[in-house]
Amino acid sequence: MIPAICRWPWSVGIEDESYPLDEDGVEFHFLGSPVLILPHEAKILLPERYERFFPLGPCCTNGNRVYEAPHGVLSHGRQASNQVMIFSNGRRKLFPINAIGARPRTREDGKKETYLARIVLGWSQIFDNMMEIKAKTKDCEPETGGQREKIPWKQVLALIKEQKEERGAPRRSLIVSIAESQRKNLAETVLRMRRILLRARDMQRVNRIKEMDLGCLQWFVRQPGASHAEKAGSRQELLAVVRRESFDVLENRVLKDFLRRCALESMRYIINEVDINPNFKGAPKALRVFEFRRLCMNLLDHPGLQTVPLPGSGVRPNYVLQNDARYRQIWAWYSKLLRREDDEDRLWDWQARTWADIVRMFVNLAIDMLHKEDGMGKMVQNGFGIEEIFGSSLHVIREQILGCRTASGSEPGPYVVKRISHGRAVPVAILEVVHPDQGHMHDIVKHFGRTGGHLYLVVRPLENALGTTYVIIVWAVNTAGSDQEKNWTDISMSASAALKKHGEAIRDRGLCNELVLDGLVIANSLSMIQEADVKGLSTSAPVFIIPSDVLQWRHHAIEFIATRLLERLNGLR
């Protein structure tokens, strides 16, 4: 099997939308979220960081696997960084990829970040905000939390609703959190820096000598003269042990580097987030960062820090950095600053996976709203509703894993699907929400590897266990990453045609005889969309278009998805 790159996640096995990889390079028009198809035994890595790709969904029935393509490789164009490395049959090969239309990370001057780059950082920041809110409710410090936090769906929805209040202000980022939490602590720490007394030998006036050691005595006996006054010479100085105050300890080296990095990060925030809109300069976040930068610059001029060198690479915290109340907080934020650059590089490369996380979160929220009286209870009265069997919450990962910030297995459900018949709610089916990472464990979804779905909604009838099974495949496409003009109807038609072909292939293999497939394509746009839009409603895979900017998100968009999702479910007979 020849490795290939496919235009869309659903394009596996579609010849018109697949492009074989070649060592001389492959070129195609990028529209958003392409995938790579490789043999099962092959391994694919990013050459720059030797990062191994994670497969999307279960293995295909023919032994191939689907992988999401990193945007960072695609947006490099004709450069050395536009390659992927594939190990297969004991050989290593590099395949250049030129994706026409992939948006770059920086502008032409190479200094300012593009709008898309700021959008991607905002995607990750929304999950950081969830972690911070959870930490505040638990009254714990940022560094004391575990690797993941469980966020109730109600709290997730409330946070998305709050984004409306942030529209007139610059984006929240790590430096804003540091400025808010460390402004007072930094000033107090610098003024009361830890210091040590160093023991050294130096020439001292005779009347000031307090201590001499063996080395001083050896020097003393070698000096000419019969008495100490004669040995002291005309300057009346002898070699003695002195104690000198020094600030050169590891914790102060970290403190100095932290101040330096905060000043640089503050300036970066001002350039990329505040200066883009004159109205932002008076925003509370902007003022806090301006003030914090001035504070850092002033503290760097402290005399005690002038002789303190910067720490080397690979700093390991000592006892003070781990246990002193002041320095422990600084070390926690310093560690986050050190990881920021690598994290942002990975977020840019794997932004399609981050968008898939957001889409899964939106769909899960929409499903969660369907069974709550305070959310979409009116729909239950219209003859259809769902009831959750087990409670659930969103599991947010503290550190992203190749762009992903949520853990698989935190999907809501399963649900009992009910219809109103003669005034009674009668259970008719079971609705399961399956993450692609767990698809290999599901008796139905394990056959759907070739579909490239980012979420699977499986509806099984209760009365007849062998009856028709309905599967709604949700695809998340990062169309905001492309500067090409999109024809949303064509995208919907492409997904519908692929859905039909995938269904035929699965049925032809006798894997699922009674099977009906439906699809939802959730795309994003950099345009100022006030409300979510939908195209291709008459097809089996309509396209939902959602603003990519976090500040434009509305809970109405989630209700919109819930409404459309209910229509798809209600149409399943």
Note the pLDDT tens digit of each residue in 420-435.
Answer: 777 777 888 889 999 9
**Residue 362 confidence (pLDDT):** 92
Q: What is the mean pLDDT of residues 402-418?
A: 88
Which pLDDT score, from 0 to 100, does residue 140 have?
40
The answer to whether the CB of 234 falls within 8 A of the CB of 210 is no
Give the percent of the chain with pLDDT over 70: 90
Return the SS3 of 164: helix
According to the model, what pLDDT value does residue 144 have? 38
Residue 102's SS3 state is: strand
Local confidence band at 137 (pLDDT 50, 70, 90 cut-offs): low
pLDDT tier at 363, thresholds 50, 70, 90 = very high
Q: Terminus-to-terminus CA distance in the chain, angstroms?
A: 39
| Residue with more model confidence, 502 or 106 | 502
pLDDT digits (tens, 9 = 90+) for 555-568: 667 777 777 777 76
Cis geometry, peptide bond prior to residue 414 (ω within 30 degrees of 0): yes
Does pLDDT of 168 surpass 70?
Answer: no
- Indicate the range of 281-295, 331-345, 482-496, 517-531 predicted with least confidence: 517-531
**Mean pLDDT across 144-166:** 75
Residues 206-221 pLDDT 10s: 888 888 888 888 988 8
Separation CA 347–CA 354 (nearest Å): 7
383, pLDDT greater than 90:
no
Q: 415 phi and psi, to 5 degrees?
A: -125, 150
**Residue 376: per-residue pLDDT:** 43
- The stretch 82-97 carries a mean pLDDT of 88
Mean pLDDT, residues 381-386 taken together: 64
Residue 445 has pLDDT above 50, yes or no: yes
C-beta separation of 329 from 94 below 8 A: no
At residue 142, the pLDDT reads: 43
Q: What is the mean pLDDT of residues 192-205?
A: 81
Say which residue, 490 or 565, is predicted with more confidence: 490
Does 161 have pLDDT greater than 50?
Answer: yes
CB 261, CB 175: distance < 8 Å? no
Residues above pLDDT 90, as percent of the chain: 32
- Sorted by sequence, the CB contacts under 8 Å of residue 378 that are 6+ apart come out as none
- Gap between the Cα atoms of 513 and 443, Å rounded: 13
Can you tell me the mean pLDDT for 257-285? Answer: 87
pTM listed for this prediction:
0.82
Instruction: For residue 104, give both structure tokens.
Output: 């770059």
Of the candidates 182, 170, 354, 195, the one whose C-alpha atom is nearest the C-alpha of residue 274 is: 170
Beta bridge partners of 433: 457
- What is the chain's length? 573
**Between these two residues, 480 and 165, which has the higher pLDDT value?**
480
Q: Using 50, 70 and 90 to split pLDDT, how confident is the model at 162? A: confident
The predicted structure's pLDDT at residue 301: 92
Distance in angstroms (rounded) separating the CA atoms of residues 569 and 476: 19
156-176 mean pLDDT? 78
What average pLDDT score do residues 124-133 get? 84
pLDDT score, position 453 = 95
Q: pLDDT tens for residues 326-341?
A: 899 999 999 989 888 8
Mean pLDDT of the 260-269 span: 92
Contacts of 189 (CB under 8 A, 6+ apart): 255, 326, 327, 330
Pairing of strands 51-52, 43-46: antiparallel
Mean pLDDT of 20-30: 90
Q: What is the mean pLDDT of residues 453-479?
A: 86
Question: What is the per-residue pLDDT across 138-147, written as a single tens digit (0 to 9) for each?
Answer: 544 444 345 7
Q: How far apart are CA 325 and CA 81, in angstroms?
A: 43
DSSP 202-240: EEEEGGG-----HHHHHHHHHSSSSSHHHHHTTTTEEEE
Q: For residues 291-306, give the mean pLDDT.
A: 92
Q: Which residue has the tokens 């603003």?
A: 547
Q: What is the pLDDT, as a whole number, of residue 377?
A: 44
> In the structure, what pLDDT confidence band is assigned to residue 374 with cuts at 50, 70 and 90?
very low
pLDDT at 465 over 70: no
**Between 387 and 66, residue with greater pLDDT:** 66
Cα(536)–Cα(513) distance, rounded to whole angstroms? Answer: 27
321 CB-contact burial (10 Å; exposed 0-12 / middle 13-18 / buried 19+)? buried
pLDDT at residue 469 in the model: 85
CB atoms within 10 A of CB 476: 28
Averaged pLDDT score across all residues of the chain: 84
Q: In the numeric block, which tokens belong to residue 97?
A: 């990829």
